[in-house]
Structure 1
Amino acid sequence: MNKNERLIIFLLASLNFTHILDFMIMMPLGNYLMPFFNITPKQFSLLVGSYTLTAAVSGFAAAFFVNQYDRKKVLVIAYIGFLIGTFACGLAPSYGLLLAARVLAGLFGGLIGAQVLSIVADLIPYERRGAAMGSIMSAFAVSSTLGVPFSLYLSNLFSWHAPFILVGAVGTVVLFFIIRFIPSMTAHIQQKEESKREVLFSVVKSPQQRLALLFSALMMMGHFMIIPFINPYMEFNNGYSKVQTPMIYLVGGIASFFAAHILGKLSDRYGKLIVFSASLLASFMFIWLITNLPPIAFVWVLVIFGVWFVLATGRAVAAQAMVSNVVPPAQRGSFMSFNSSMQQLGTATASFISGMVVINGTDGKLMHYNWLGYISIFILLCCFLLGQYLFGKNSSVKA
């Protein structure tokens, strides 16, 4: 990548850092919010799922018009709305108002991911896109390595409100640089405006696009099935303290940071489908270990989670690169909005299912968490088979 490309990728990764951190920090706050508001696992899952569900709705709606506008303008407007919602989370005094703030943040947050991926796909040729996607996905690693542990530290030091104020403040700084340095991106705009029906039909009539959207939804559903209750399970069931559990995200984030760059380059060199398949299949054993984990030495907990983070990053980087190549640039904005919407819908579905499956035991421990592991493995196996069909040798989609 040249200097200008690297600057844009860095700024988009910084934006992604705040966007992902806002979503990620809600899940490890479960063991703070459930006793603070005296709510059940099901009510907590609504806090997690409300963001992703509303993001899915806004992402779907945006698909009908984003291709007719400058990608930068759409990104900036969405980011401003997202930051307002994030600050509202940090100021919410009750469960109801926090839920409403998550809905607001989700409505605008649903527009961000698709625009980031569309800008990267427009800017970087497919042959180098794996490495670029790896850089963007490294925002997940940084948010895990620095953002989540520091946010949990602030929660211990002040209150659970503090992390959201932090994300909003950092995002405000990032917004200034996005406005200043990201160029307008209008090359994708067609002279003839597509009707809403044409936008939808272009996806519906294409088997590859339909299957790619299902592929994205299944991958996110399988991944997030076990995430909302990791922290509560580690504390309530296995007895690890609030001081220890942030280390899971620190170690996992460091592992993901290196994995995103290394596996992104490997996917460009050896094939994105190969990296995706190997990472996904290898993750099954670690999903089982995490959801059936007995109280063991905490160093082994960190090892297990570190490997799982690496594998999850590997499959995500390769999958995003493959999916981004399903459509030509003129349709990419709309398709990636649909794709982001399906990812959010998959995440929301996983959150709601996990909230229905996991219940509080009489001794304060969580019950049936291992069931989520089995559901996750089954969904990811379906995703693997679909990926082979969609991006395999006999497919016209280059993988």
Structure 2
Amino acid sequence: MPVALLALTAGAFGIGTTEFVLMGLLTQVAADLRVSIAAAGLLISGYALGVAVGAPVLTIATRRLPRKTVLLALMAIFTLGNLACALAPTYGWLMAARVVTALAHGTFFGVGAVVATGLVPAERRASAIAIMFTGLTAATVLGVPAGAWLGLQFGWRASFWAVTLIGVLSLAVLAAFVPHSRPETPAPLGDELAVLVRPQVLLGLAMTVVGYAGVFVVFTYVQPLLTQVTGLSDGAVSAVLLLFGGGMAVGNLLGGKLADRDPMRAVLGTLAALTAVLASMPFAIGTPLTAIVFFGVLGVASFATVAPLQVRVLEKASGAGQNLASSLNIAAFNLGNAIGAWLGGMTIAHGPGLGALGWVAALVTLAGLGVAVWSRRLDRRPCRLDARLST
């Protein structure tokens, strides 16, 4: 395995930790900043929207720079943003700092995914992406539970100080091991933007947004679900997050293997499985044992979708727009995160409440599966699609 691929994984670990760490600390943040649980959940949506905006803007702005330079600059933004989170005196300051931190996220994973696929033979592209995303799953296995424990012991700000240190270390690893590359002469901007009018690319982005949103309808509110519905203690939440992260690691590698064989079949199968798991939540979280099993299985199902969805978009965006499409799909995941967190908050504040989150989540992901089925049908009749576009 190329050492540079492990360096990308280290960067992904740092970014993944800061994305998810608040989910184990929503109650503490809400109490300290004197806001509601639903308002604290919007800090997840704010981060995700920052990713959605930053991914295309920074990808286009940095298109003439060497990829290593881009990755290092993005990690520096990430590190400074987390420092601002640790020092945030108010809810508004914390929201702004989260958004600034998020600007680096999408382009890092988008550019990193392209770099990763260039480090291995063509038949192992999906597995290379999955290995890089292992940093994200490792963040959930190690970083998020550790951050939740730190937050419970020393206050939620301690988690962001720890993530700032992770950012400094990740920056050093990337500088040491990612190979230098000469600045590329990019394709004309119009050629890159042309990817945005390809129907299958747009459908790929749509299935990512809608299909993945269901995960965050539930996962954003994992702490109040486990403490208020299941009846677990705050201290037990870290253990459940650890199990969820372990499931993500398994699902991530499984999704990479499936996508290496047939990306579109992997998309359909993993989204169908995720819908079924989410639909089981109302029945599973009533007792501690079944709730713990549910979140472990949810970890597997949620991250098994990632590599197939990413490879699908890269496959349909081959050519000049691949960098932009890759970053846009990372933005699409995070737009789904934002929508899911918002829908979950609305369900809690104005709807049937915490216990119904699974039903809402399953319906959202089922809609994403419907988009995927539509895209598969278009694959099977390209001539008719081309004729339609030419008229």
The normalised TM-score by structure 1 is 0.87
The answer on 1:254 being equivalent to 2:250 is no
Deviation of 1:329 (Å): 4.6
1:235 is aligned, of 223, 227, 231, to 227
The answer on 1:301 being equivalent to 2:291 is yes
The answer on 1:310 being equivalent to 2:296 is no
Give the secondary structure class of the aligned counterpart of 1:209: helix
The letter for the 1-side match of 2:333 is Q
Deviation of 1:62 (Å): 2.4
Structure 1 pair 260–108 and aligned structure 2 pair: CA distance change class (3 A): closer
The letter for the 2-side match of 1:241 is S
Structure 1 pair 340–314 and aligned structure 2 pair: CA distance change class (3 A): closer
The answer on 1:275 being equivalent to 2:266 is yes
Residue equivalent to 1:322 = 312
Structure 1 pair 125–216 and aligned structure 2 pair: CA distance change class (3 A): farther
> Whole-Å Cα distance in 1 between the matches of residues 254 and 336 of structure 2?
27
Residue equivalent to 1:375 = 360
The letter for the 2-side match of 1:320 is Q
Q: Are the counterparts in 2 of residues 267 and 318 from structure 1 also a CA contact under 8 Å? A: yes
| Contiguous gaps of at least 5 residues in structure 2 | 383-391
> Whole-Å Cα distance in 2 between the matches of residues 38 and 349 of structure 1?
24
2:278 is aligned, of 274, 287, 291, to 287
Alpha-carbon displacement from aligned partner over 1:25-78 (angstroms, at most 9, x marks no partner): 112211221222221133112211111112211212124333322121111111
Deviation of 1:186 (Å): 4.7
Residue equivalent to 1:384 = 369
> Whole-Å Cα distance in 1 between the matches of residues 204 and 292 of structure 2?
33
After TM superposition, the runs of 4+ consecutive aligned structure 1 residues lying more than 6 A away are none
Deviation of 1:335 (Å): 1.8
Structure 1 pair 160–70 and aligned structure 2 pair: CA distance change class (3 A): same
2:330 is aligned, of 335, 340, 344, to 340
Structure 1 pair 125–215 and aligned structure 2 pair: CA distance change class (3 A): farther
Residue equivalent to 1:139 = 135
Alpha-carbon displacement from aligned partner over 1:175-218 (angstroms, at most 9, x marks no partner): 1121122113458633xx524x5543x03332122222212222
Structure 1 pair 245–175 and aligned structure 2 pair: CA distance change class (3 A): same
Residue equivalent to 1:117 = 113
> Whole-Å Cα distance in 2 between the matches of residues 224 and 150 of structure 1?
20
> Whole-Å Cα distance in 2 between the matches of residues 33 and 376 of structure 1?
24
Task: List aligned pairs for 1:1-399, cutoff 5 A.
Answer: 3=1, 6-186=2-182, 189-190=185-186, 194-195=188-189, 197-200=190-193, 202-269=194-261, 271-291=262-282, 293-296=284-287, 298-359=288-349, 368-391=353-376, 394=380
Deviation of 1:273 (Å): 2.8
Alpha-carbon displacement from aligned partner over 1:247-279 (angstroms, at most 9, x marks no partner): 11111222322332244224324x233333223
Give the secondary structure class of the aligned counterpart of 2:203: helix
Would you tell me which structure has more helix in proportion to its own residues?
Answer: 2
> Whole-Å Cα distance in 1 between the matches of residues 290 and 215 of structure 2?
21
Q: Are the counterparts in 1 of residues 59 and 107 from structure 2 also a CA contact under 8 Å? A: no
> Whole-Å Cα distance in 1 between the matches of residues 181 and 347 of structure 2?
45
> Whole-Å Cα distance in 2 between the matches of residues 159 and 209 of structure 1?
43
Give the secondary structure class of the aligned counterpart of 1:225: helix
State the aligned residue count.
Answer: 381
> Whole-Å Cα distance in 2 between the matches of residues 342 and 67 of structure 1?
20
CA RMSD of aligned residues (A): 2.4
Structure 1 pair 293–40 and aligned structure 2 pair: CA distance change class (3 A): farther
Deviation of 1:123 (Å): 3.2
> Whole-Å Cα distance in 2 between the matches of residues 233 and 367 of structure 1?
14
Deviation of 1:283 (Å): 2.5
Deviation of 1:332 (Å): 1.3
Q: Are the counterparts in 1 of residues 17 and 139 from structure 2 also a CA contact under 8 Å? A: yes
Give the secondary structure class of the aligned counterpart of 2:316: coil
Give the secondary structure class of the aligned counterpart of 2:235: coil
> Whole-Å Cα distance in 2 between the matches of residues 223 and 259 of structure 1?
14
- Which moves more between the two structures, 210-219 or 383-392? 383-392
